[in-house]
Amino acid sequence: MSTRTRNILIIVGALIISIASRFFLYTGPPHVEVAAEVIFDGIPGFPITNSFVVSIIIDIFVIALAFAATRNLQMVPRGLQNVMEFILETLYNLFRNINAKYVATAFPLVATIFLFVLFGNWFGLLPGVGSIGVCHEKKAEHGVVEERLALAGPASVAAAESEEVHDTCAAQGKKLVPLFRAPAADLNFTFAIAVISFVFIEYWGFRALGPGYLKKFFNLNGIMSFVGIIEFISELVKPFALAFRLFGNIFAGEVLLVVMAFLVPLLLPLPFYGFEVFVGFIQALIFALLTYAFLNIAVTGHDEEHAH
């Protein structure tokens, strides 16, 4: 049998298995919930959502990773120290190529943002995230029962178990609320981290240029006053652009994986799963790069811009 014939048979066999899985591993209609869901409402005024739980987990993981990588520093790095030094050095060189003047100042923030968002995105792709949950009472408002469908996670591995749990909740007159959800799939998270980035950018703009930083936006010199108003509006839009870009890509990826796992549970979702791993990395990197790029724009006065 030739290599070409064998490859064709493998592809055809994979397609047959994928199509057959749609009938033998049916997991019910895909469930999508835009807003993060409350899993614990015991603290007045501070409900604990599934995306918040994952954010805390990622916080602990990043801190533990930093501690483990630096607890026994060596001149010739090995193991975890070597891996982390390689990652951070690559990031540092990337930012330095953009502008070396402020890289030492901005690197702690942008590198932390990158690692935190990256691990949060990848955590959301783990089996069980979005599909393992608890049964909660349905909310009734104005006499109408509101059933908010839980987000079925991207892991088709746990899809059958998730559907069984969902059926159990439905039999009890309750809804399934997932215990875990990718933080960036919650607009509250992306907006919060975008605000942190925005405050950092504005702080360094004022620190570098002083009161002259406001001349970028409020200038009475003819047409420059109109340009300044446009720049001021664009400055206010930055946190929204950062937040919605990250949220849109990660949430859309989750929906894509949910739909693909519903249509064809086996094999076919794997390429999309690999693609979402790549998207999670790219979105974390873009967020960090945009933060650093916006910082360099903020610390550059109009005189310097015209000189270049």
d(C-alpha 59, C-alpha 295), whole Å: 25
Residue 16: per-residue pLDDT: 67
Contact yes or no for 185/51 (Cβ under 8 A): yes
Residue 306 has pLDDT above 90, yes or no: no
The tens digit of pLDDT for each residue in 16-66 reads 666 665 555 555 555 567 777 888 776 777 888 888 999 999 999 999 999
pLDDT at residue 151, rounded to an integer: 37
Q: Which residue has the higher pLDDT, 278 or 147?
A: 278
Q: Report, as an integer, the average pLDDT of 109-128.
A: 91
Provide long-range contacts, Cβ within 8 A and 24+ apart, for 44-52.
Answer: 49/181, 49/186, 49/188, 50/133, 50/177, 50/178, 50/179, 50/180, 50/181, 51/181, 51/182, 51/183, 51/185, 51/186, 51/188, 51/189, 52/183
Q: Which residue, chain included where needed, has tokens 């790549």?
A: 278
- 152 closest CA partner among 137, 140, 169, 138: 169
Higher pLDDT, 120 or 223: 120
pLDDT tens-place string over residues 237-270: 999 999 999 999 998 888 888 777 777 666 667 7
With contact defined as beta carbons under 8 Å apart, do 58 and 120 qualify?
Answer: yes
pLDDT digits (tens, 9 = 90+) for 149-179: 333 344 333 333 444 444 556 666 667 778 8
Among candidate residues 239, 257, 238, the one with its CA nearest the CA of residue 190? 239
pTM of the entire structure? 0.79
Question: Residue 278: its pLDDT value, please?
Answer: 93
| Angle (deg, nearest 10), helices 103-123 and 187-209 | 180
Model pLDDT, residue 63:
93
Q: Which residues contact 232 (CB under 8 A, 6 or more apart)?
A: 216, 217, 218
Q: State the pLDDT confidence band at 229, using cuts at 50, 70 and 90.
A: confident
Three-state secondary structure readout of the chain: CCHHHHHHHHHHHHHHHHHHHHHHCCCCCCCCCCCCCEEECCCCCCCEEHHHHHHHHHHHHHHHHHHHHHCCCCCCCCHHHHHHHHHHHHHHHHHHHHCCCCHHHHHHHHHHHHHHHHHHHHHCCCCCCCCCEEEEECEEECCEEECCCCCCCCCHHHHHHHHHHHHHHHHCCEEEEECCCCHHHCHHHHHHHHHHHHHHHHHHHHHHHHHHHHHHCCCCCCHHHHHHHHHHHHHHHHHHHHHHHHHHHHHHHHHHHHHHHHHCCCCCHHHHHHHHHHHHHHHHHHHHHHHHHHHHHHCCCHHHHHHC
User: What is the rounded average pLDDT for all residues in the chain?
Assistant: 78
Residue 185's nearest CA partner among 121, 90, 278, 268 is 121
Residues in the chain: 308
In this predicted structure, the answer to whether residue 272 has a pLDDT above a threshold of 70 is: yes
CA angle 157, 160, 165 (to 5 degrees): 120
Q: What is the pLDDT of residue 21?
A: 57
Q: Mind listing the pLDDT tens digit for each residue in 65-93?
A: 999 998 888 888 888 889 999 999 999 99
Tell me what pLDDT residue 141 has.
41
pLDDT digits (tens, 9 = 90+) for 176-203: 778 888 899 899 999 999 999 999 999 9
The reported pLDDT for the residue numbered 286 is 94
At 135, the pLDDT band (50, 70, 90 cuts) reads confident
